[in-house]
Amino acid sequence: MEDIQKQYDAIFVRKSVRKYRSEPLPPDAMFDLQRHVKELEPLLPDIPFAFEVLTGEHPTGKFVVQAPQYLLFYSKPDEPGAWENCGYLLEQFSLLFTSLGIGSCFLGSAKPPASMMQSNGLDYLSMLAFGLPEGSVTRERAAFKRKPVEEVTDVAEEADLLEAVRLAPSAVNSQPWLVTGVRGDLLFCRRKPPFFGRKHMNLVNRIDMGIALCHFRLAAAMAGKPIRVSLDPAQEHFPEKRAVPSGCVFSARVTYCTAAPPVKQYKAPSVD
Ligand SMILES: Cc1cc2nc3c(=O)[nH]c(=O)nc-3n(C[C@H](O)[C@H](O)[C@H](O)COP(=O)(O)O)c2cc1C
């Protein structure tokens, strides 16, 4: 719960950090991170995943940020939900980093050295640059460049919870999410990317959707509402299928209890 509170608070102040001090994190901080790996909550428990840390070398590719270290994520890229799971898990790290004063930045086009393209039979999907920042890891709420809430959702009664989604980071700040449905039963969709670069954007936007689901899960948990996430586009286990808005692709259907969480009743002392 302590980690959930820290991660949730970080949503409202975090930013991508692109300037780092040159030294890697001290060994005790790295040891602490390993402890956090055990506490991570995957989106899909059945998809195998692994992390590796790249130190002392830089990845190649477009838009690479020079950092002392990189957290590499591996999984089975062809499994349904693998890319969403990547965003969901790496974002938990990114938020924890923020809460610890450590900077990070997703790198969607970067490639690790050839020797690190695989780990334990799993393929490399994406990475986070991380390290001690030159400057701050946080910013004022007003400095977030994001779409207005009306472009993110039409579920006005859940706007408070969905603020965490609105503020989520995304590849080239594309903010592909569109959330429809009703309170307690939300459909998370992603807008199809423009034709140019569609193949790559389709993959990184799936990471973005995993990040959005991570933020929503944290906001709902803080409101005392654990969520259930179904990534089945056929929506087989639901009595009614919700329509995906035109120009969008199904990402997830998220359900949760709408009743107010139990509040401890205050029993007034009896007056004799
Ligand atoms: C999946 C993904 C890939 C990204 N790839 C890069 C990248 O290659 N290089 C970079 O400098 N920033 C990258 N970013 C950071 C985004 O540009 C950034 O999140 C977005 O502009 C919003 O800014 P903020 O994170 O400061 O809120 C990526 C973000 C995500 C979520």
What does the pLDDT look like over 173-209, one tens digit per residue?
999 999 999 999 999 999 999 877 788 999 999 999 9
**Percent of the chain surpassing pLDDT 90:** 86
Q: How confident is the model at residue 170 (pLDDT cuts 50, 70, 90)?
A: very high
Q: Is residue 268 part of a domain?
A: no
- Ligand 1, atom 11: nearest CA belongs to which residue? 63
Residue 157 CA to ligand 1 center (angstroms) comes to: 29
Say yes or no: CB of residue 63 within 6 Å of ligand 1.
yes
* Atom number in ligand 1 closest to CA 204: 1
Tokens linked to 86:
């990547």
Co-location of 164 and 99 in the same domain: no
Which domain, by its residues, includes 178?
Answer: 145-256
Pocket test for ligand 1, best of 173, 208, 214 (most atoms within 8 A of CB): 173
Q: Is residue 97 part of a domain?
A: yes
What pTM, to 2 d.p., does this model score?
0.95
Co-location of 159 and 229 in the same domain: yes
Pocket test for ligand 1, best of 12, 107, 126 (most atoms within 8 A of CB): 107
Decide if 188 contacts 244 (C-beta within 8 A): no
Q: Is residue 137 part of a domain?
A: no
Cα–Cα distance measured from residue 176 to residue 37, given in angstroms and rounded to the nearest whole number: 28
Tokens linked to 192:
């199809």
* Atom number in ligand 1 closest to CA 211: 31
The answer to whether residue 272 scores a pLDDT higher than 60 is: no
Say yes or no: CB of residue 171 within 6 Å of ligand 1.
yes
pLDDT in tens, 225-256: 999 999 999 999 999 999 999 999 999 999 99
Co-location of 252 and 191 in the same domain: yes
In this predicted structure, what is the pLDDT of residue 167? 98
CATH number of the domain residue 188 falls in:
3.40.109.30
Q: What is the mean pLDDT of the chain?
A: 94
In this predicted structure, what is the pLDDT of residue 242? 97
Q: Which of 17-31, 57-71, 178-192, 250-264 has the lowest mean pLDDT?
A: 250-264
Co-location of 52 and 74 in the same domain: yes
Co-location of 152 and 126 in the same domain: no
CATH number of the domain residue 35 falls in:
3.40.109.10
Q: Is residue 262 part of a domain?
A: no
